[in-house]
Structure 1
Amino acid sequence: MTTRTPQGVATAVTGGSAEPLRGLLQDALLAGDEYAAAGVLFTALDEGLTVEQALLDVIGPVQAEVGLGWAANRLTVAQEHVATAVNDRIIAALAHRSPPPRAARGRITVACVEGEWHALPARLLAETLRLRGWRVDFLGAQAPTPHLIAHLHQSGPDLVALSSSIPTRLPTAHAAITACQAAGVPVLAGGAAFGTDGRYARLLGADGWAPDARAAAELAAGGPAVPPAVPHEPVEDLPHLADQEYTLVSRGRTRLVRETVDGLADRVPALRAYTERQRERTAEDIAHIVDFLATALYVDDDELFTGFLTWTAGILDARGVPARSLAPALELLGEPLRDFPRATRLLRRGGAALATA
């Protein structure tokens, strides 16, 4: 078990920088020491750190660093899961360090898009909004759209904050956005899935976008106004979907993955010696490529697909897997999609991005 000295925390707080606290918290998380991790933040609160600062300047950045550590193969999946679970418990404890507001300034529903399991960013937003006086309904991870809409009809919130970290959830997010607006509730979108500049939030018709929890809270409080919801159909936002390429690729996902994995065994002889588990992992990797290809077709954005491929190449490299194995996979995917102009363009540009990565 790790140990922490209050003096070290006090020095970090009085120094005016959250960075030393992040280091202390991350060390405790990676050691799996929940009590030491909580002690770091509770001592910091006693020394003058606010709960909002603890949430957004310490826990949030540390969680992001944990994710980067997993991507770089410095941390195992188990370590990442333990760190996330401990952070989640600490957030719950911090939520009761501040008294509830005497009168709520309004009501906001915070939810993750259906299929989105990364709930911690949305949890940080929910707690920040509560600290600022809002009544918050936090629906957590993976909120199915029909249940979200039923909740809106029952609770009548002023705003819905939708969170998504994975771009492949964008089609589902689009359906949720339009459904919420049809129910008369404006939507504020946030999370990595919507792009670092919010381009996909705007493309999908969200009423507002925020890059982080503080910006979202300020937007909700009356910064740049969130306009009233305007009901509309998804096809009105994305007329390019009329070519049916997205629909055909997403519906043909299982076949595309199977044929690509079978074809790779002929092009990459080493795959023939793979164990059943290795073949399953290969199929999972191909499935991710198909999912991102379909999503890029949905939003008609080459950068979404090429960015995913170069990121994947880095992940494979960190795990000692030759990234060059992605190139024949793209070629094989292109064969049954040769009559799909946009898909062909994406695969070609993806191959070019890999060649220069």
Structure 2
Amino acid sequence: MTPPPRPHPDAVPLGPAREHLWSAVRQGDERRAAAVVLDALESSGDAETVLLDLIAPVQERVGTEWAANRLTVAQEHTATAIHERVMAVLAHQPGLRDETPSGPRVTVACVDGEWHALPARLLAEVLRLRGWRVDFLGAHVPTPHLIAHLHQTGPRAVALSSSIPTHLPTAHTAITACQAAGVPVIAGGAAFGPGGRYARSLGADGWAPDARGAAAVLERGLDRPGPRGVHQTVDDLPHLADQEYTIVAETTHQLVKQTLADLEDRFEPLRGYTERQRRHTAEDLAHIVEYLATSLYVADEELFTRFILWTADILTARRVPARSLDPALDLLALQLKDFPRACRTLAHAREALGDRTPLPKTPGPGKPA
């Protein structure tokens, strides 16, 4: 199936439209956001360009501004919801797509536990514009339900989306199950790492960095997987035989509880925290342990280090001392002293944290650790 020619993204100047859309979603003005998008559609004549070169970059800016503490969580959620509704308005404009598509069938879904559905929605709308018959299952799709759907519909391929790396073990399960059902999988989303490195290590049949790239991969075609016998996780990831991932994942609660207790002796400000601040600190420690476990799952120390450096920047932007991460990592290492891969991963992150150049503090209300 050959897609119709489309204007190059730079053929229509979208810079002013991006600023107008950003202003609208930042202020929670859905009506104005829809007007900006529809005006851009009229100017460009191409809905795919509007989706991928107007809405997508503005949504990316929403995430960047939240990380820098220039948007609240409520504003970030509002902006995302506006983009989802504006995309629905755009998708139903007359004449944009065939209402009875005859192209191949594809399933687009987020892995179990993944609630960031907008990237998958962008791909679904692009594929519909290109004539595919799309089953968009949305966020947080349990793998058994996904497999049941595949047996009922028999799509040419499954596009699995995940933005959060801690969902990689679940993504691996979904990829393996889809392939066992005879359906190839293309993976996408930030969870799969730079260059899609984890998509390959987890056995996906394809990967793409964005919706335009994913559509191109699907149009070229993915080979259907052959019959598979009993398939174990360690068949793809033999390092899991050491059980470090399993033990860390299963003892997350105990690791967090002990680290929080020990941290009071190492990090004096914690002793004066309110109950709310202690709760936030426990949540942050839980995220650290979850990312450590995921790093052990894919055997990549850089995954954990990237998360720790990102967390340090988030804390700095919220006027919380990032130096609190160092004793937390040290205390985890003491608890995991008999786990060599975990200790190496923690040491690598501590070294990178020590070499980090702190970001300037961002004015604004602080978020407790």
Q: What TM-score comes out, normalization by structure 1 length?
A: 0.94
Q: Quick one: distance in 1 between partners of 2:321 and 2:47?
A: 45
Report the CA distance between 1:269 and its aligned residue: 1.8
Q: Quick one: distance in 1 between partners of 2:44 and 2:238?
A: 53
Secondary structure (helix, strand or coil) at the match of 2:145 reads helix
C-alpha contact (below 8 Å) 1:101/1:133 kept by paired residues: no
Amino acid in the other structure paired with 1:31: Q
Overall identity of the aligned pairs, in %: 62
Task: Indicate the residue corresponding to 1:19 in structure 2.
Answer: 15
Task: Indicate the residue corresponding to 1:69 in structure 2.
Answer: 65
Task: Indicate the residue corresponding to 1:34 in structure 2.
Answer: 30
Amino acid in the other structure paired with 2:292: L
C-alpha contact (below 8 Å) 1:178/1:233 kept by paired residues: no
Report the CA distance between 1:100 and its aligned residue: 2.1
Aligned with residue 93 of structure 1, among 85, 89, 93? 89
**145 and 15 in structure 1: CA distance in 2 versus 1, 3 angstrom threshold:** closer
Task: Indicate the residue corresponding to 1:339 in structure 2.
Answer: 338
Q: Quick one: distance in 1 between partners of 2:198 and 2:283?
A: 25
C-alpha contact (below 8 Å) 1:115/1:143 kept by paired residues: yes
Task: Indicate the residue corresponding to 2:219 in structure 1.
Answer: 221
Task: Indicate the residue corresponding to 1:125 in structure 2.
Answer: 123
Amino acid in the other structure paired with 2:322: A
Q: Quick one: distance in 2 between partners of 1:118 and 1:280?
A: 24
Report the CA distance between 1:233 and its aligned residue: 3.1
Report the CA distance between 1:16 and its aligned residue: 2.4
Report the CA distance between 1:227 and its aligned residue: 2.4
Task: Indicate the residue corresponding to 1:330 in structure 2.
Answer: 329
Task: Indicate the residue corresponding to 1:161 in structure 2.
Answer: 159
Task: Indicate the residue corresponding to 1:266 in structure 2.
Answer: 265
Q: How many residue pairs end up in the alignment?
A: 343
C-alpha contact (below 8 Å) 1:63/1:84 kept by paired residues: yes
Secondary structure (helix, strand or coil) at the match of 2:44 reads coil
Task: Indicate the residue corresponding to 1:233 in structure 2.
Answer: 232
Amino acid in the other structure paired with 2:235: E
Report the CA distance between 1:264 and its aligned residue: 0.7
Secondary structure (helix, strand or coil) at the match of 1:109 reads strand
Report the CA distance between 1:99 and its aligned residue: 3.4
Q: Quick one: distance in 1 between partners of 2:313 and 2:325?
A: 12
C-alpha contact (below 8 Å) 2:205/2:222 kept by paired residues: yes
- The answer to whether 1:177 aligns with 2:212 is no
Stretch of structure 1 that moved more, 299-308 or 102-111: 102-111
Report the CA distance between 1:228 and its aligned residue: 2.1
Amino acid in the other structure paired with 2:76: E
Q: Quick one: distance in 1 between partners of 2:102 and 2:165?
A: 33
Q: What TM-score comes out, normalization by structure 2 length?
A: 0.91
Q: Quick one: distance in 2 between partners of 1:143 and 1:102?
A: 26
Amino acid in the other structure paired with 2:126: T
C-alpha contact (below 8 Å) 1:171/1:295 kept by paired residues: yes
Secondary structure (helix, strand or coil) at the match of 2:102 reads coil
Task: Indicate the residue corresponding to 2:194 in structure 1.
Answer: 196
- The answer to whether 1:212 aligns with 2:215 is no
Q: Quick one: distance in 2 between partners of 1:249 and 1:52?
A: 43
Task: Indicate the residue corresponding to 1:354 in structure 2.
Answer: 353
Report the CA distance between 1:14 and its aligned residue: 10
Aligned with residue 102 of structure 2, among 101, 104, 114? 104
Amino acid in the other structure paired with 2:243: Q
| Unaligned ranges ≥5, structure 1 | 1-12
Secondary structure (helix, strand or coil) at the match of 1:74 reads coil
Deviations 1:94-149 (A, max 9, x none): 11122325542110000001000000000000000000000000000000001001
Q: Quick one: distance in 2 between partners of 1:126 and 1:22?
A: 22
Deviations 1:276-321 (A, max 9, x none): 1100000011001000000000000011011111111011000001
Report the CA distance between 1:169 and its aligned residue: 0.4
